[in-house]
Amino acid sequence: MNDKARMHTITVLVENKPGVLARVSGLFARRGFNIESLAVSITDDPSVSRMTIVVSGDDSTLDQINRQTNKLIDVIKVVDYSEVPRIERELALIKVDAENQRRAEIMQIVDIFHAKIIDISETSFTIEVTGNTDKVDAIERLLTPFGIREVVRTGKIAMARGAVTAASGV
Amino acid sequence: MERMNGANALVQSLIDQGVEIVFGIPGGVMIPIYDALYERPKLRNMLMRHEQGAAHAADGYSRATGKVGVCFATSGPGATNLVTGLATAYMDSIPMLAVTGQVKTTSLGKDAFQEADIVGVTMPITKHNYLLKDVADLPRTVAEALYVARTGRPGPVLIDVPADVSFAMTNYEPPGPVSPRSYKVWNEIDESALDDVARLIAEAQRPVLYVGGGVITSGASEVLTKLSEKTHILVTTTLMGKGAIPETHPHSLGMLGMHGTAYANKAVHECDLLIAVGARFDDRVTGKLAAFARKAKVIHIDIDPAEMGKTVQPDVAIVGDCKQVLEKLLDIIAPREETDWNKQIMQWRNEFPLHCPADEERLMPQCVIGKVWEMTKGEAIVVTDVGQHQMWTALFYKVTKPRRFLSSGGLGTMGYGFPASIGAQVGCPDMPVFAICGDGGFQMTLQELAPAVEHKLPIKIILLNNGYLGMVRQWQELFWNGRYSGVDISVQPDFVKLAEAYDAIGIRVDNLRDVEGALKRAMEVNDRPTIIDFRISREENVFPMIPAGQSIEEMMVNRPR
């Protein structure tokens, strides 16, 4: 057991019913588990929703999170991705000041990060970037000097590498 | 298949699931459901006087019978009045079903009259809950709710029924077996862990069994007693575990923890192997965690995987039904003989015995409980409220069978005892039922005297009356320099007259000589409740006591001088 707090990515498959998000988030709040990010949507099976939750805590906290979450009646499965080879992605939209004389510079950064400019006005760009958390952090940092007006991030989603799935067991 | 409205389908579903009685109170949106009760008298209704009483009565019914108690309440305030009862049942893992009325689905979220989001409110204090929006889901939801309530680690479940769902017509058909895909009941037992347990027990010099309510729930008392007899491992129980082994058995050490017996706590403190069965290392048991059983390896057996490592990291964890696990263990375990360790514990028992303080002048509560025990031969169902009298009962009433001692352990709900005793008496009509209460807690829910009289329930209410919120007073005496703030409740009704006002029987006792006669008289009453107002010594304390968050080194066996 590691008693150092670190980030963990867990996936929770739940019944796609009203109130399920409240049950999961309420449990986390009540038991003092810190949610860093949370992404929810339905899956290929419309009766199942998938939550990807990034939490911080030591190993015993994570163990409790898994066990307590599993106890919720609407939770079908909890998968801890912390030790699993995985792909993680998050998407961010960044609205940044883009006066004429600085546009080229910003476009260069966008290119390097394989990001996209998806909206443009006389004074701003809106940039879409996809990648792991580090990459999104990095482009955000590099764009800061230009004047960031607004940032929205989806929170992380994750999938195991290879043929295995969350439902089949990673 | 039969055509009926949702309210009738609800009542019929409960009947088809084997429910015989509900405790409840109607209200606007519950009228269709109460009308269905009128139509279907097979489901008896016990009309309570406050919804909290209904919830506690359902809980007491569950605890005494092992079946699932059911309560009804209307929307808004009716539903919120259930909250304390649901939380009480949740903390003690008691199966229960609450059905609440709700405003019609089209009014939900509009702040309609008597609307409260009871599903939202009770999410953290129920095992699961449902907002029933479609009448077609009704029979399956009722079946599923009862299934969830009683299986695995049991708990209360709530179904919220909007008024328009009660009115909607449906083709009622009893549902087949239910097993929601997302609900996991643990039923495989890790065999290799069982071998580890057997090995640890064989190697241990100083083992102790620490047993909680899980053993009562799973019906494992007999196998636990056999295991203790085969291995000569002595047993201490939590408050919830009282009755798991007969407390008259030479292997029983009584209760452990804050107000546990000195010898049980010493045994746990000195043991080298602690075998926790159906218990959860509550802070009232462990005190200071770092000092708790620190010389011991820990085996933890419980049906709830989330209990493993929640408070104490076990050396061996077995998730499973206590009865199944203990049965397997009994088969593979090697017999052990009595050892010096057993003698050592017996020596502690002789050194620090429990005793009723003898006093000619004052009425000692311990002696009252001792007398109740003597006169019932430990065979009654004893339901306590919460406070000093609860701990005196835990210490001095030796419970001989499971489901004969009912008490709010986890939540510590004052006001629980008397309404819970109603549920117990209704569930076990042929058993003597004693509600042991303090004057504080009894006054929180005494309105339920009316239904107890109405239904001729011969409950014996043992009121240990000291005119104080006694447990708080005790703490103020011991840890707050005797500054008695907000604890004197000596302005109170005349409980004898109060009993008479309800057409119950009231007896007052203020000295030891009269205790036996009063109890005898109460035990002869068979058609109404009796309140015996025992005017006990006002400032008597519960000892032994380990102050909160401390270790056995700080144990007080008597009042400090």
Mean pLDDT of B493-498: 98
B70 & B196 share domain: no
Q: Which residues contact B518 (CB under 8 A, 6 or more apart)?
A: B507, B509, B532
Angle (nearest 5°) at CA B228 between B226 and B230: 65
Count the domains in chain B: 3
User: Which DSSP string corresponds to B318-376?
Assistant: EES-HHHHHHHHHHHPPP----HHHHHHHHHHHHS---PPP-SSS--HHHHHHHHHHHH
B377 & B503 share domain: yes
Per residue in B3-60, pLDDT (tens digit) is 999 999 999 999 999 999 999 999 999 999 999 999 999 999 999 999 999 999 999 9
What is the dotted CATH code of the domain comprising A6-80? 3.30.70.260
Would the pLDDT of A2 be above 70?
Answer: no
Would the pLDDT of A65 be above 60?
Answer: yes
Question: Which CATH number do you get for residue B216?
Answer: 3.40.50.1220
A68 contacts on B by Cβ (under 8 Å): 306
Whole-number pLDDT of residue A154: 95
B340 & B383 share domain: no
Task: Tell me the pLDDT of chain B averaged across its residues.
Answer: 96
Label residue A1 by pLDDT band (50, 70, 90). low
Mean pLDDT of B326-335: 97
Asked whether residue B40 is assigned to any structural domain, the reply reads yes
Label residue B360 by pLDDT band (50, 70, 90). confident
B237 & B117 share domain: no
Whole-number pLDDT of residue A6: 87
Asked whether residue B386 is assigned to any structural domain, the reply reads yes
Would the pLDDT of A77 be above 80?
Answer: yes
Asked whether residue B554 is assigned to any structural domain, the reply reads no
Per residue in B217-233, pLDDT (tens digit) is 999 999 999 999 999 99
Question: Which CATH number do you get for residue B451?
Answer: 3.40.50.970
SS3 assignment, position B198: helix
Asked whether residue B390 is assigned to any structural domain, the reply reads yes
B384 & B314 share domain: no
B197 & B121 share domain: no
Please tell me the pTM assigned to this model: 0.96
Question: How far does the CA of residue B159 sit from the closest CA of chain A (Å)?
Answer: 14
Per residue in B423-466, pLDDT (tens digit) is 999 999 999 999 999 999 999 999 999 999 999 999 999 999 99
B212/B279 Cα distance (integer angstroms): 4
**A32 — contact with chain B (CB < 8 Å)?**
no
Label residue B188 by pLDDT band (50, 70, 90). confident
Whole-number pLDDT of residue B181: 86
Query: Which one has a higher pLDDT value, A82 or B247?
Result: B247
**A159 — contact with chain B (CB < 8 Å)?**
no
Would the pLDDT of B163 be above 70?
Answer: yes
Question: How far does the CA of residue A20 sit from the closest CA of chain B (Å)?
Answer: 10
B234 closest CA partner among B263, B258, B198, B260? B263
| Cβ contacts from A onto B, under 8 A | 44
CB B96 within 8 A of CB B70: yes
Q: Which of residues 72-111 of A touch B (CB under 8 A)?
A: 72-76
B329 & B379 share domain: no
Mean pLDDT of B210-216: 98
Backbone angles phi, psi at B182, to 5 degrees: -90, 5
Domain boundaries, chain A: 6-80, 87-157
B436 & B523 share domain: yes
CATH 3.30.70.1150 for domain A87-157, yes or no, is yes
Would the pLDDT of B366 be above 80?
Answer: yes
Q: Domain of B128?
A: 2-172
Decide if B128 and A73 are in contact by the 8 Å CB cutoff: yes
Mean pLDDT of B330-339: 96
B344 & B383 share domain: no
| ipTM score | 0.90
Task: Tell me the pLDDT of chain A averaged across its residues.
Answer: 94
